[in-house]
Structure 1
Amino acid sequence: MKYHPDRNPSNPVGANNFREVKAAYEIVGDEEKRQQYDDFGHSAFDENGQGHARHGGFGQQHGGFDDIFGGMFNQRQQQRYQPQPEKGSDIIASIEISLEKAVEGCVQQIKLPNNPQLLDVSIPAGIDEGQRIRVNGKGNPGSLGGPHGDLLVEIRLLEHETFTRKGLDLYCMIDTPFTTAALGGNLKVPTFTGYLNIKIPEGTQAGRKFRIKGKGIASMKGNAVGDLIYEVVIPTPTELTEQQRALLEQLVALN
């Protein structure tokens, strides 16, 4: 390839070298010519010599690039199109976890298809609905000895009886007695770790929200933390005692 005429259009030395390489290739690749070369040396193919098997000598120029390098090229083509090992496909599985586990993180067991063994999967704190966890090498086997694919675990959050998640924020509806909403006071409200007291101002209306900074969900990445948001609900009593009814009637009369 180095001395091929196409690469050396105006280099007679390169052309001569190419002819010598070509002739040497023909001798090495032919058993009869190799034997003649072993017996008579270079003169076996010298046109000025005694005529020992002159066909295919060094000075001939028939044949071309493919004659010399065709075998090499075909071999490379076969190697290029030979099937190669491929990574196996991924497996997608979904699991349901509680909101508490999503907020705090946990280790969850999952059963893989066609595998009786349970696999422990680490659930990072702060994960949200629909997000996926990648477990390397736990997917389907590869072809021709290729590596296994991965396992993708998709998260489904169970509905919580008290809290609703929106991003990193937690929302909670709090029943507030009419008297507390009208007169003001303290109200005990739930959190994931217990309870706290919040102050309800006088004249609070239904639907009013109270935001507790930094009491929401910590992000899986970075230092961001959401808030805990309480929304006031003022329930209407369905059954009243005689005394309660009388007091309410007096209140109406005052208005």
Structure 2
Amino acid sequence: MTKRDYYEILNVTKNSSPDEIKKAYRNLALQFHPDRVSADKKKESEEKFKEISEAYAVLSDSGKRKLYDQYGHAGIDNRYTSEDIFRNADFSGFEDIFQQSGFGDVFGDIFDIFGGGGFRGRTRRSGPTRGSDLEYHLTITLEESYHGVEKTIEIYHTQTCSVCRGSGSKPGTSKKTCPTCKGAGAVRYSRGFFSMQQTCPKCGGSGEIVGTPCPECGGRGKVKKQSKITVKIPAGVDTGNTIRVKGKGEAGEKAGPSGDLYIVVRVLEHKIFHREKDDIYVEVPVGIATAALGGEITVPTLDGNVSMKIPSSTASDKVFRLKGKGMPAVNSSHVGDEYAKVLITPPENLTTRQKELLKEFAKISGEKIDEGFFKKIFK
């Protein structure tokens, strides 16, 4: 089920001050406390009460609020369990208000609603858990992007221990009951006027600890190693594209599956080609005579030089399209185009005869020649 926006739940705005958020929560908590409604509406009221309490727990904490403002519910859900959300929430000042209203220990009620006789919330899983994903930044050339390429990279990451296979225990030995939680997997502690139950920090919720540690990994169930990985970069990738390599991230806990490796691609700028999506742009110098009379010119492409005919009287900055000479689209049959811009370049080191002919051409064309400017251009 999609969660509602926390600000919407409390009927406040993103610019609301902490005092305004606190006031809004107090009013809503009084309105929706389960003790204030009839028996037939109690369940609905409890759900509403949980919703506004969670919203307040996040928005009253500056760190969680900043994370929520930036990433929404995903930023909170991916980082905190329910018990984490409530652990440092500031509910001070509310208890007396509710007691005066005749509702008893309302904050005891909050945690009863969330999980029985004390707040349990979402305790962390005690079994195998997936490892974290890793990110690797890879730089390639435009030519490599055009053709596609295989790259071998080296990463330093955790791997499941091959000796104990992730259990952390020396082969042939068994685990022991956790002395901290006595095998329950959870411990209870009090904070102010309410108590909370959280995953046991010693055993991670399993209720067991390693008796005799594995000599290879020291009881961790995983080891840090360097790996060489060959990655296939498909043709057409662009800066910012990511390539997923399954199972090459960090090792999981308790022999859980490894996370994934994400290759973030950066394509270097090219000295003559400019890329825009799947199209390539290039500037091609063309002599005056060829531009005036028309002819065949050589145009560089990422697949080698090609010949192209230009018509007579081609002006500088004229752009010609070479269909299908651009970048291939990733995992597609589509190929972009190349656009060649003509740049007419004056000849250098003209002979006396060449200068005379150009002057004659200008005279026939009715052009006025600035001798000083002419000498600067045609040295």
Q: What TM-score do you get using the length of structure 2 for normalisation?
A: 0.44
Pick from 283, 288, 301 the counterpart of residue 178 of structure 1: 288
Secondary structure at the residue paired with 1:127?
coil
Partner of 1:25: none
Pick from 132, 136, 140 the counterpart of residue 89 of structure 1: 132
- 1:12-161 maps to which residues of 2 (within 5 A)? 83-113=126-156, 115-161=225-271
Distance in 2 of aligned mates of 1:166 and 1:80: 49
Distance of aligned partners of 1:82 and 1:113 in 2 relative to their CA distance in 1, 3 Å threshold: closer
Distance apart, 1:214 and its partner CA:
1.8
Q: What TM-score do you get using the length of structure 1 for normalisation?
A: 0.63
Distance apart, 1:245 and its partner CA:
2.2
CA deviation string 1:103-159 (max 9, x = no partner): 111111111135443210011111112101000111112223322111111111122
Instruction: Work out whether 1:195 is the aligned partner of 2:238.
Output: no
Aligned residue pair count = 181
Root-mean-square deviation over aligned CA pairs: 2.5
Contact 2:134–2:261 (CA under 8 A) maintained in structure 1? yes
Distance in 1 of aligned mates of 2:124 and 2:271: 60
Distance of aligned partners of 1:80 and 1:165 in 2 relative to their CA distance in 1, 3 Å threshold: closer
What is the one-letter code of the residue matched to 2:306?
Answer: L
Structure exhibiting the larger radius of gyration computed from Cα positions = 1
Distance of aligned partners of 1:193 and 1:165 in 2 relative to their CA distance in 1, 3 Å threshold: same
Distance apart, 1:102 and its partner CA:
0.9
Partner of 1:206: 316
Partner of 1:219: 329
CA deviation string 1:44-70 (max 9, x = no partner): xxxxxxxxxxxxxxxxxxxxxxxxxxx
What is the one-letter code of the residue matched to 1:90?
Answer: D
Distance apart, 1:246 and its partner CA:
2.2
Taking only the aligned residue pairs, the percentage that are identical comes to 37
Distance in 2 of aligned mates of 1:177 and 1:189: 14
Distance of aligned partners of 1:90 and 1:193 in 2 relative to their CA distance in 1, 3 Å threshold: same
Distance apart, 1:164 and its partner CA:
2.0
Distance of aligned partners of 1:148 and 1:186 in 2 relative to their CA distance in 1, 3 Å threshold: same
Q: Any unmatched runs of 5+ in structure 2?
A: 1-115, 158-224, 367-379
Distance in 2 of aligned mates of 1:118 and 1:81: 33
Contact 2:234–2:331 (CA under 8 A) maintained in structure 1? no
Secondary structure at the residue paired with 2:156?
coil
* Higher mean displacement: 158-167 or 81-90: 81-90
